[in-house]
Amino acid sequence: MTNAKPIQLRGQPIAAGKLPLVCLPLVAGTEDALLAEAKQVLAKKPDVIEWRADFFEQVGKVDAVLACARHLRQMTGVTPMLFTCRSASQGGQPIELSSPQVAALCEAVCAARSIELIDFEMDNALEDVQRVVASARGTEVTVVLSHHDFDATPRFDELARRFRMAQDLGADVAKLAVMPSSLDDVLALLNATFHASRLLAIPVVGMAMGQVGSVSRLIGWMFGSAMTFAVGSRSSAPGQIAVDDLNAAIASLRRACGG
Amino acid sequence: MTNAKPIQLRGQPIAAGKLPLVCLPLVAGTEDALLAEAKQVLAKKPDVIEWRADFFEQVGKVDAVLACARHLRQMTGVTPMLFTCRSASQGGQPIELSSPQVAALCEAVCAARSIELIDFEMDNALEDVQRVVASARGTEVTVVLSHHDFDATPRFDELARRFRMAQDLGADVAKLAVMPSSLDDVLALLNATFHASRLLAIPVVGMAMGQVGSVSRLIGWMFGSAMTFAVGSRSSAPGQIAVDDLNAAIASLRRACGG
């Protein structure tokens, strides 16, 4: 039914190769609130937990980030954690760190081995991308190189180029999120995701955001997208679906399509 | 959420405009078996019942067809019935009637007013299409002009031309079913359906058949397709989904997407 390649961790597919993986974000601003949020989110049994560190009030203090990551790690147990410090230009919270500082933070988080996956935007300076990729390689962290377009959905060729670019930069996972203005754009995103899932050697994650795009979060796996992001506690991007509704919809699609 | 136009009956949307309408086929070979099948299928509460008359052993006897339609009508009550005598070249059973004879049968069935909708293939001779359309107009039967490609999925332009052709020929509903060889074809069918649903004045129905296409039967309504065909008792085309699974999947998609 699906062409999606499973996302791996140290050579092993996460959640025994389940497709799609369901990732739930943590978006609280303080460590206490994050630990409370993690408890709530873990009850939803996500395959991956994403810590959106750009929401963390102390994101500018490396020690505070590392301590929080360690404490989250103690709570998440076997559930892999994805560390993401999204830039404001790609939908993140405004923070004071420069791109090289975010890269340095990512390096430090990899080195501390409190996380299993790391997201870094492929638009960053090449040397920053290379630093993060090298750091992740050396610490067996899975690297997601991502791009988010909150304004529009690029044409097929540009979407394909972006997926390819992530692989060429050394990603373990290529992730694209776009904003559709109509269902045509949603079909274009699915089309590009499907093509990339066949052409590339690495797993891909593709989604169309917003209300118009929300169907892509449910059916993207059929078109090769290895992971989908849903709401456990609070949403981290427009169009995310409550995880219970998402799980129910995917299960019934799977039953209906025999996939 | 959807651009689908509702299918109407004498100026009123069927099932109060529910989208998508769920149509369940009857494919038994004898009147007794059809009545038993109708009872079983009606328990599934379809929005429309389709009598696939090409499966009827006595399809060559107009009187037998009219009597059976009348008896089915008594049983189906308020559920509208779609009469279809599919040709073998478009996925139907091999029967001995010529295309003009099928057109004459359709005329007789319209005249008897035991059905609410009639399907006729737009590939038939123009004079046969015109006869059936005129007969349906005169008896307030809703005309579905259809085309089925069991070998392949035509390109977007050809799909768009087909939808348009149905409208130009006087259809109340334009229906296309294609056989995808991959998910690219499924996306092409959804794309063409979505475009036709915006461009045409009449409702459209689009589906990709087979296992690969089955997802289109679940999500087509989001892309403008007004009706989906499922299995109540026995399947009438490849890739049809059991109606309980289909209803559950559509309900959970609707809940998840807020549609």
CA dist., res. A194 & res. A180, Å (int): 17
Mutation target among B1, B252, B254, B255 for the A interface, most CBs of A within 10 A: B252
Check pLDDT > 90 for residue B258. no
Percentage above 70 pLDDT, chain A: 99
Contacting A with CB below 8 Å, chain B residues are 3, 183-184, 187, 190-191, 194, 211, 214-215, 218-219, 222-223, 241-242, 245-246, 248-249, 251-253, 255-258
pLDDT at B3: 73
Helix or strand or coil: residue B66?
helix
How deeply is A244 buried, as exposed, middle or buried, from its count of CB atoms within 10 A (0-12, 13-18, 19+)? middle
Check pLDDT > 90 for residue B174. yes
Q: Which two tokens stand for residue A250?
A: 């995917």
CA dist., res. A162 & res. B97, Å (int): 56
Mutation target among A22, A193, A253, A255 for the B interface, most CBs of B within 10 A: A253
The confidence band for A258, taking pLDDT boundaries of 50, 70 and 90, is confident
pLDDT in tens, B186-203: 999 999 999 999 999 999
Beta-carbon contacts below 8 Å between A and B? 81
Helix or strand or coil: residue B234?
coil
Amino acid in the structure at residue A242 = A
Mutation target among A183, A223, A243, A244 for the B interface, most CBs of B within 10 A: A183
The confidence band for A80, taking pLDDT boundaries of 50, 70 and 90, is very high
B250, B20 Cβ separation under 8 angstroms:
yes
Q: Which two tokens stand for residue B240?
A: 């049809």
Percentage above 90 pLDDT, chain A: 95
- Minimal Cα–Cα distance from A65 to chain B, Å? 34
pLDDT at B148: 97
CA dist., res. B80 & res. B116, Å (int): 6
CA dist., res. B183 & res. A224, Å (int): 10
Candidates A44, A147, A148, A195; catalytic one: A148
The confidence band for B236, taking pLDDT boundaries of 50, 70 and 90, is confident
What is the mean predicted confidence (pLDDT) over B221-230?
97
Residues of chain B contacting A190 with CB distance shorter than 8 Å: 187
Distances in whole angstroms, Cα of residue A94 to Cα of each of A56, A57, A71, A123: 11, 11, 24, 17
Whole-angstrom Cα Rg for chain B? 17
- Minimal Cα–Cα distance from B122 to chain A, Å? 27
- Preceding amide of B20 cis, omega within 30: yes
Q: Look over chain B and give the mean of its residue pLDDT values, rounded to a whole number.
A: 96
Instruction: Report the catalytic residues of B.
Output: 148, 175
pLDDT at A236: 87
Check pLDDT > 80 for residue A71. yes
The confidence band for B1, taking pLDDT boundaries of 50, 70 and 90, is low
pLDDT in tens, A230-252: 999 888 888 899 999 999 999 99
Question: Considering CB atoms only, which of A184, A246, A252 is closest to B249?
Answer: A252
Whole-angstrom Cα Rg for chain A? 17
CB under 8 Å to A110, separation ≥6 — which residues? Answer: A118, A132, A135, A136, A138, A139, A141
CB atoms within 10 A of CB B16: 8
Check pLDDT > 80 for residue A259. no
pLDDT at A218: 96
Q: Beta strand B12-13 with B8-9: parallel, antiparallel or unpaired?
A: antiparallel
CB atoms within 10 A of CB A10: 8
CA dist., res. A206 & res. A219, Å (int): 10
The confidence band for A70, taking pLDDT boundaries of 50, 70 and 90, is very high
pTM: 0.95
Check pLDDT > 90 for residue A1. no
CB under 8 Å to B259, separation ≥6 — which residues? Answer: B1, B2, B222, B253
Residues of chain A contacting B218 with CB distance shorter than 8 Å: 253, 256-257
pLDDT at B219: 96
Whether residue B215 and residue A253 make contact (CB cut-off 8 A), yes or no, is: yes
Whether residue B194 and residue A187 make contact (CB cut-off 8 A), yes or no, is: yes
Tokens 């008897």 locate to B112
Provide the sign of the torsion angle of the four alpha carbons A115, A121, A122, A128, taken in this order. negative
CB atoms within 10 A of CB B188: 22
The confidence band for A214, taking pLDDT boundaries of 50, 70 and 90, is very high
Residue of A nearest to B241 (CA): A256
Contacting B with CB below 8 Å, chain A residues are 3, 183-184, 187, 190-191, 194, 211, 214-215, 218-219, 222-223, 241-242, 245-246, 248-249, 251-253, 255-258
Q: What is the DSSP letter of A219?
A: H
pLDDT in tens, B81-135: 999 999 999 999 999 999 999 999 999 999 999 999 999 999 999 999 999 999 9
B47, B41 Cβ separation under 8 angstroms:
no
Q: Look over chain A and give the mean of its residue pLDDT values, rounded to a whole number.
A: 96
- Minimal Cα–Cα distance from B185 to chain A, Å? 10
Tokens 């052409």 locate to A199
Whether residue A187 and residue B191 make contact (CB cut-off 8 A), yes or no, is: yes
> What is the residue-wise DSSP string for A69-133?
HHHHHHHHTTS-EEEE---GGGT----S--HHHHHHHHHHHHHHT--SEEEEETTS-HHHHHHHH
- Minimal Cα–Cα distance from A140 to chain B, Å? 34
The confidence band for B259, taking pLDDT boundaries of 50, 70 and 90, is low
Question: Considering CB atoms only, which of B191, B215, B245 is closest to A184?
Answer: B191
pLDDT in tens, B21-40: 999 999 999 999 999 999 99
Residue of A nearest to B192 (CA): A184
Q: What is the DSSP letter of A24?
A: E
| A175 is known as an active-site residue | yes
CB atoms within 10 A of CB B46: 23
